[in-house]
Amino acid sequence: AQTVTQSQPEMSVQEAETVTLSCTYDTSENNYYLFWYKQPPSRQMILVIRQEAYKQQNATENRFSVNFQKAAKSFSLKISDSQLGDTAMYFCAFMKPSNQFYFGTGTSLTVIP
């Protein structure tokens, strides 16, 4: 069975600072994808960043980057220069080759002005 664990239910960060959200996962698969999704108060689920397991290079998308440690099954999200609009729930997710998705319990991030 696949599991995704987010051990930080809530976090806060000062505007313009950097914050890192943690995620670990457990799988016996060798090929898979990992994701971070953002859910603002509007409830819409928005893809933030995606990482393919066979790529060693960490994915980056503007102010968002990941630290992917395959052997440790760790996939953390770093948000640089935090903005008020980053306030949201963040979900770590895992996708098997069969296109089944598994989600963590989420981290609620608050950016403080």
Contact residues for other proteins (CB under 8 A)? Answer: 6, 9, 33, 35, 43-45, 47, 50, 52, 91, 93, 95, 98-106
In the chain, the N- to C-terminal Cα span, in Å, equals 41
> Least distance in Å: CB of 103 to other proteins?
4
Residue placing its CB nearer to other proteins in the complex, 15 or 102:
102
Q: Using DSSP, how many helices (H) and how many strands (E) does the chain show?
A: 0, 12
Q: How far apart are CA 90 and CA 108, in angstroms?
A: 6
Query: Cβ closer to other proteins: 41 or 113?
Result: 41
Smallest gap, in angstroms, from Cβ of residue 105 to other proteins? 4
Q: Are 38 and 48 in contact (CB under 8 A)?
A: yes
Rounded to the nearest whole angstrom, what is the least distance from the CB of residue 94 to other proteins in the complex?
Answer: 11
Name the residue nearer to other proteins (CB basis): 56 or 98: 98
CB within 8 Å of 62: residues ≥ 6 apart: none
